Chains A and B, each alone.
Chain A
Amino acid sequence: MKHWLSSFVRWFDLRLQLRESIGPMLRHPIPREVAGPVGWWYVFGSASLTLLVIQIVTGIGLALVYVPAADKAYDSLLYLTNQQPLGWFLRALHYYAGSGMVVMVLVHMTQVFLQGAYKYPRELTWIVGALLLVCTLGMFFTGQVLRWDPDAYWGLAVGGAIAARAPGVGSHLTQ
């Protein structure tokens, strides 16, 4: 049985070569000088990633029921929360993981900034991270609009009015 399983895994690995490409990444050690008392500073990036995976999985689940139309969105939200089996759980998980992801991303960036981990040769990592922060905050805003309750509706109005202050393209952005 064990032999059969290992040969099965080997068959795939000979073709996908995952052991060679992902293995070193997983085995990459925390540098000796930051391991020990500050070793746990390393988890915030992985925590953000874990929360993002939760967001994607629960988000796909919620999207199977949610209706993204202005006249039905709130009704489908009520159905999702009160009638759909475990819908309340998925929604709560999506909500808390979403808020947690913003918190974790900010903590992670603070850690990277304070410990100078954005310096050579990691400048591009920092720039990509800054873009991902904008994406995260953008999804944080658009996600709360999906609720389509009065809070979300007027939150969108305020967001639109803020966008209108942008010179030139402002009013087009809003409409």
Chain B
Amino acid sequence: MATEPEKHVVMADPAISAGPETVLSGASEQGSASVTAPAIPRRNLFALLTVGLGGIATAMVGLPFLGYLFRMEKRKPPWVDLGTADQFSEGETHRVTFDNPLSTAWDGMTAETSVFVRNQGQDKNGSVTFLVLSDNCAHLGCPVSWFPQSGLFMCPCHGGVYYADGSRASGPPPRGLFACVWRVHNGRLEIQAPHFPTISDPLGGDRSAANATAERQARCKEMRHETLA
């Protein structure tokens, strides 16, 4: 539609004898006759400017909008105080609840996060080691509960079960529970604030404490004995 009047103008111009489709190539070759015809017809230049400037204007508005929609905020997780380190007695699992600093001001009750803390006893160097597990099941994130009677974590959603050291016992989870990064600072146990952990984005803590694995193997052996007897 837009090119029709242009064709009409070119056809009517007596200076150019060729058809409208050869206007551009003919202009540079025909010497003096083509001096008045610009290399880029003015209409094309304006079309180019319209598209170009329009594109720039759209990008100036659109790119910040896309940045807003797909913003990736990577905050370094702050340390959360879980209380004095010596309140956790060896070999026991405690649920500790705290307000997660990764939350926003309007999160209310949903900022409450809980983790399981287990004192693993002293390592070879004589310092106490901890196991801090997120309560989110490694299957689909439901909150697991600790059952001291059976020494197992169990998930209410799809039946995921974990041993005391957080490793998977049975059910759909593809791995063990997610462990938090912890440290003992001035006698207080601190963890890096945990986000919602998933298999593609775990918490970065280490669950492979040697004595916990040994304990689990002992338990397995015990259970096998019971079954055989």
Residues in A lying within 8 Å of B, measured CB to CB: 69-72, 148, 153-154, 157-158, 160-162, 164-165, 170-172, 174-175
Q: Please report the C-alpha to C-alpha distance between residue A28 and residue B195 in the assembled complex, in whole angstroms.
A: 56
B222 at the interface (CB under 8 A from A): no
Known: A164-B201, A174-B201. A157 touches B106 (CB 8 A): no
B200 at the interface (CB under 8 A from A): yes
Q: Please report the C-alpha to C-alpha distance between residue A52 and residue B31 in the assembled complex, in whole angstroms.
A: 69
Is A164 touching B200 in the complex (CB atoms < 8 A)? yes
Known: A157-B140, A157-B141, A162-B140. A170 touches B198 (CB 8 A): yes
Contacts of B109 in A (CB 8 A): 70-71
Contact with A along B97-129 (1 / 0, CB 8 A): 000000010111111000000000000000000
Contacts of A170 in B (CB 8 A): 198, 200-201
B139 at the interface (CB under 8 A from A): yes
- Nearest CB of B to A159, in Å: 9
Residue of A whose beta carbon sits closest to that of B108:
A71
Residue of B whose beta carbon sits closest to that of A170:
B200
- Return 16 A-B CB contacts under 8 Å, by A number: A69-B106, A69-B108, A70-B106, A71-B107, A71-B109, A154-B142, A157-B136, A157-B196, A158-B141, A158-B157, A160-B196, A161-B196, A170-B200, A171-B198, A174-B200, A175-B196
**Of residues B109, B136, B157, B198, which shows the largest number of chain A Cβ atoms within 10 Å of its Cβ?**
B198
Is B140 touching A161 in the complex (CB atoms < 8 A)? yes
- Nearest CB of B to A59, in Å: 22
Question: Which residues of chain B (25-77) have a CB below 8 Å from chain A?
Answer: 72
Q: How many residues of B contact A (CB 8 A)?
A: 21
Known: A70-B107, A158-B142, A158-B157. A175 touches B195 (CB 8 A): yes
Residue of B whose beta carbon sits closest to that of A171:
B201
Interface of B, helix, strand, loop or mixed by DSSP: loop
Q: Please report the C-alpha to C-alpha distance between residue A80 and residue B184 in the assembled complex, in whole angstroms.
A: 47
Q: Please report the C-alpha to C-alpha distance between residue A172 and residue B108 in the assembled complex, in whole angstroms.
A: 24
B205 at the interface (CB under 8 A from A): no
- Nearest CB of B to A77, in Å: 13
Q: Please report the C-alpha to C-alpha distance between residue A157 and residue B143 in the assembled complex, in whole angstroms.
A: 10
**15 new A-B contacts at CB < 8 Å, known A69-B108, A165-B198:** A70-B108, A70-B110, A71-B107, A71-B109, A72-B106, A157-B140, A157-B141, A157-B196, A158-B140, A158-B157, A161-B140, A171-B201, A172-B72, A174-B196, A175-B201
B199 at the interface (CB under 8 A from A): yes
Known: A157-B140, A158-B142. A164 touches B199 (CB 8 A): yes
Contacts of A154 in B (CB 8 A): 141-143, 157
Q: Please report the C-alpha to C-alpha distance between residue A150 and residue B8 in the assembled complex, in whole angstroms.
A: 71
Contacts of B143 in A (CB 8 A): 154
Contact with A along B195-222 (1 / 0, CB 8 A): 1101111000000000000000000000
Q: Please report the C-alpha to C-alpha distance between residue A106 and residue B207 in the assembled complex, in whole angstroms.
A: 46
Known: A70-B106, A175-B195. A161 touches B157 (CB 8 A): no
Q: Please report the C-alpha to C-alpha distance between residue A170 and residue B197 in the assembled complex, in whole angstroms.
A: 12
